[in-house]
Amino acid sequence: MNKLMDDTNKKWTVTNSTKVAVTAISAATSNDSSKAMIYEMGLSYLPSDKANDALPSGETTNVTLDEHTSSGDEQEIYDVIFAKPSNAFPVDNASIMLPLFGGSYPDYTISSTAADAMKNSYNFFRMIQAYPTSTLAKNFNQALTDEQSNESQTTPSSKSPIDTFFASTKSYQNCTAVTYAAILSYAQTFAGASVGFSQKRTFYLYSDHSDKVSEAGTVSFDLNAVQSPFDLSDKNAGYTIVFKDSNGESTPLFYEQGQFVSDVNSDMPAICLQITWASKNQLNGTDTSQDTIVPVMAGFVNGLKASGSSTKQDISSRTNKWGWPSTVTGWFSLVMGVGGAIMFGDWIIQKFRAKSKARVETERANNERQITDEQNKALNDRIDAMSEKMAEHNQAILDKLQSDEQFSQDLQAVENQTTNAINDINKSDAQRVMEKQISEYGDQISEIAEYGVTSDLQDAASTLREAARDVASANSVDQMKAAREKWDPELEEVQKTITKRTEVLDQEISAETRNNINRSNENLEELAAEQEAIEDQQELEERGEFDEDSVFDDVVD
């Protein structure tokens, strides 16, 4: 037992300068090789001298620090989360340590801007998921890698590369490595962050099988009455989460390490899904002036790949974007890729936070003298060994999705995976639109051919067949761009041929035929607008830009 702790003042004075009441949560583990971080550790409420153990807004409160380590010693270092009482969403995260010479924990003030910084970190967390190929996301990934290198030094730079990155941004200057780590850990632990804390939300899932899209079922989220205090052991965070298949059979789902699974004890659950956030413009093939960031779900459902969003789709025909198998597969791949990028970031942050904590503990054992090169090497070796176990753990999580995705410790490989997934979606979208345009022209020729086939119509039909073959064989965005450049002028000539023939026939054409052609032309106008939106989206991605004014589809206050 640590005798020095006998005279310790176990009352920690905390001033809450935010506009919200908070609770104090201790995050601790008795396992030195634990892969857990913040919320993923053992959580317990810390008592205070106010009603319901709260820390009211604008008040100073005494928090009791009286926990013990696994060896029975009184704990001297605390990782404390100040959180909203309703859902444990972080407001601030502090590490507090008893001075080596002194019997009281230093007073602490929760900054008046802390809540806004956490909310903005949550927005950033989702923004880089929605725009994973943006310069913003790539620069952040590089900052993560630089932070890892910085922490491996015997004397690391006092300026965190992650903090430097956030300071360089336009919209996220109040975010830090600490706030992002707290949000990342919270999102991996509790389900609410995945759906923007909506009271209710339903995801409509679709699968592709034998080149046909079918309904795979729905996943509904219903938030129950909020408990006080929030149950820290409830990873569903108060939600009843239910998968319902196309036959109406229901299966409860449970949130576990960033996934929604039908069985938390199975290595290969029958249902395993995850959520990332995406651009609604890209999801729906639109080009609204202000984009919306929405959650998208994907994973394995009873042996089939499935993906979908909160928008129910009409898949009765291939005229709908989500009626195309490539859309289902493309979004499955993108969600897997973005999920892998999140996991990569989590792996690096856990690694450098573990090193930082180990450094503090070693310096404390050195009577606050700086660690030596030998001690630093020993710490790095220990953390590297731990990170390998973390990588194995992450691969086991990915395996549950049955996506064949491999956890990568290489930044470039992670970025390539998301870039390739987005390129596949863009290629498929461009193919889909152009195939529908060709089909519309083909339908118009069929309508007019009933009144007689001319050589010009035959040539136009041949052009459409050649164009269709070229488009169908395109395997990349670049090949689709080449097909578009080659065949757009030819399709314009087809349009002129149809228009000319229609004018020649004039009154011979029935009202029904004329109406069909008019409707087809309206469809072509919509397709042209959709094509323009796709091209704008691709240009945005190629420039590394993103819609910084995007709004989020959630209810976070």
Among 267, 191, 134, CA closest to 550:
134
Looking at residue 410, its pLDDT comes to 74
Q: What is the residue extent of each domain of the chain? A: 3-112, 198-337, 423-542
- Under the banding of pLDDT at 50, 70 and 90, the label for residue 153 is confident
Rounded CA separation 433/491 (Å): 13
In the predicted structure, residue 321 carries a pLDDT above the cut 70: yes
| Averaged pLDDT of the chain | 86
Looking at residue 283, its pLDDT comes to 84
- Under the banding of pLDDT at 50, 70 and 90, the label for residue 3 is very low
Rounded CA separation 490/483 (Å): 11
Instruction: Give percent above pLDDT 70 in the chain.
Output: 89
Among 22, 389, 16, CA closest to 182:
22
Contact indicator for 272, 300 with CB cutoff of 8 Å: yes
Four-point Cα dihedral 539, 542, 543, 545, nearest 10: 80
Mean pLDDT of 64-85: 83
| Residues composing the chain | 557
Half-sphere exposure of residue 80: CA atoms within 13 angstroms, side-chain side: 26
Q: Residue for token digits 């791949």?
A: 333
Contact indicator for 26, 67 with CB cutoff of 8 Å: yes
Query: Contacts from 260-269 at CB under 8 Å and sequence distance 24+?
Result: 260/191, 260/219, 260/297, 260/299, 261/400, 266/400, 267/396, 267/399, 267/400, 268/399, 268/400, 268/402, 269/400
Half-sphere exposure of residue 523: CA atoms within 13 angstroms, side-chain side: 20
- Under the banding of pLDDT at 50, 70 and 90, the label for residue 233 is very high
- For 247-292, what is each residue's pLDDT tens digit? 999 999 999 989 999 999 998 999 999 999 998 888 877 777 678 8
Number of helices and strands (H, E) in the chain?
11, 18
Rounded CA separation 334/311 (Å): 18
Mean pLDDT of 505-514: 90
Tokens at 314, concatenated: 């009409």
Instruction: Give percent above pLDDT 90 in the chain.
Output: 49
Looking at residue 31, its pLDDT comes to 55
- For 5-63, what is each residue's pLDDT tens digit? 455 678 999 999 999 999 999 987 655 545 567 888 889 999 999 999 999 999 999 99
Residues 6+ apart with CB under 8 A from 45: 23, 24, 25, 26, 53, 229, 232
- For 216-228, what is each residue's pLDDT tens digit? 999 999 999 888 7
The single-letter DSSP state of residue 48 is B
